[in-house]
Amino acid sequence: MINVQRLRLLRELSFLGTISAVADSLGLTRPAVSQQLSQLEKDTGLVLVERAGRSVQLTGAGLRLVEQSHEVFESLERIDAEIAVSRNSISGDLRISAFPSFASTVLPTTISLLRSSHPQLKVFMFEHEPAEGMVDLMTKRADVAVLDNLSRQDPRNEAVSYQPLFGDDFYVVMSEKHPFRKLDTVPLAHLAEEEWALNRSARIYHSSIVDACLAEGFSPNITCDCRDTTTVLQMVRAGLAISVLPGLALTGHQQGLSVRPLTPLLKREVLFATLKGRSSHPAIQECFRAMRSAYARRVQSSFRGFALDQEDDL
């Protein structure tokens, strides 16, 4: 009989990449993790891990075992969710990983709604980019990860359940005196001769914007290479550059800016992700509803151009 905890260590190794990272994630020592993985190899009679220089990697047998393990852990998650339903109360800990623009706009209202409706539920949040959020989810550091579909490492694997939260359009952002402010929509190609401000720290966002420009036949002239969106907005307000930003990043920051829709349309889909089998957990369902409600209150009501499909449901 395969030990489930040892199988979980192998699964985490497939996501985190190093034994040290697995040990740190679970609060174990590196030798303890290595010993348990060695025992799993003895239990299965298979070589599951091999050295690759100073690091390790899963063998073909190890990767197949991890893939097959998804059903095991999905069943365990489903059992846990069914127990929570039977208790008929929403309590315990709920851990949410969310990328910065969501964390600063939708998430505060989400947490307030959850605390107000379910005072016995303790909510924790981690502000991480989507790729890190997926690791949080797969290693069970987070119960929910808010992701988007622009990630170059879009890990839509069999272990994860995804539900659309809303679409987030990108907009051209410029100073209030910029001549393009008179346009109803701004073609991306019109920005070929402009000076740009972009946030290089948000790597996926940065790459998506550059790729969209290249598709229109030009490379953006980035004269303001910033480390956060706040600096980008300040450069734009000062008339030093233009930018293209998602609506979430603009929520509550439109003052002193001209914001126009972009053509061709560029948007991202914001996704609610949790491990399969866990989506029926009452706390998870309440979290999804609170996020949808928080989006309508915090974003949709304050920024034109957003759309929320109320027919989606968990």
- pLDDT of 94 reads 96
- pLDDT of 160 reads 87
Share of the chain above pLDDT 70, in %: 93
- pLDDT confidence of 307, banded at 50, 70, 90? very low
Q: Taking phi first (over 0 means left), then psi (-120 to 50 degrees means alpha), and beta for anything else, what does residue 109 get?
A: alpha
| Residues 124-141, mean pLDDT to the nearest whole number | 88
CB 199 within 8 A of CB 141: no
| Residues 178-199, mean pLDDT to the nearest whole number | 96
- pLDDT confidence of 231, banded at 50, 70, 90? very high
Residues 159, 165: Cα–Cα separation, whole Å: 19
pLDDT at position 116 over 70: yes
Residues 59, 61: Cα–Cα separation, whole Å: 5
- pLDDT of 312 reads 36
- pLDDT of 189 reads 97
- pLDDT of 262 reads 94
- pLDDT of 178 reads 96
| pLDDT tens-digit series, residues 59-94 | 999 999 998 888 888 888 888 888 888 887 798 999
Task: Render the burial of 37-73: b for 16+ CB within 10 Å, e for the rest.
Answer: beebbeebeeebbeeeeeebebeeebeebbeebbeeb
- pLDDT of 314 reads 40
| Residues 236-265, mean pLDDT to the nearest whole number | 93
- pLDDT of 302 reads 63
| Residues 164-183, mean pLDDT to the nearest whole number | 94
Q: Give the three-class secondary structure for 241.
A: coil
CB 279 within 8 A of CB 161: yes
Average pLDDT score, the chain = 88
| pLDDT tens-digit series, residues 140-158 | 889 999 998 886 444 446 7
The pTM of the whole model exceeds 0.85: no
How far does the chain reach from its first CA to its final CA, in angstroms? Answer: 35
DSSP 247-311: HHHHTT--TTEEEEEEES--EEEEEEEEETT-TTSHHHHHHHHHHHHHHIIIIITTSTT-B--TT
| pLDDT tens-digit series, residues 274-303 | 998 888 899 999 999 999 999 988 887 665
| Residues 35-60, mean pLDDT to the nearest whole number | 90
- pLDDT confidence of 313, banded at 50, 70, 90? very low
Share of the chain above pLDDT 90, in %: 64
∠ CA 45-50-56 to the nearest 5 degrees? 135
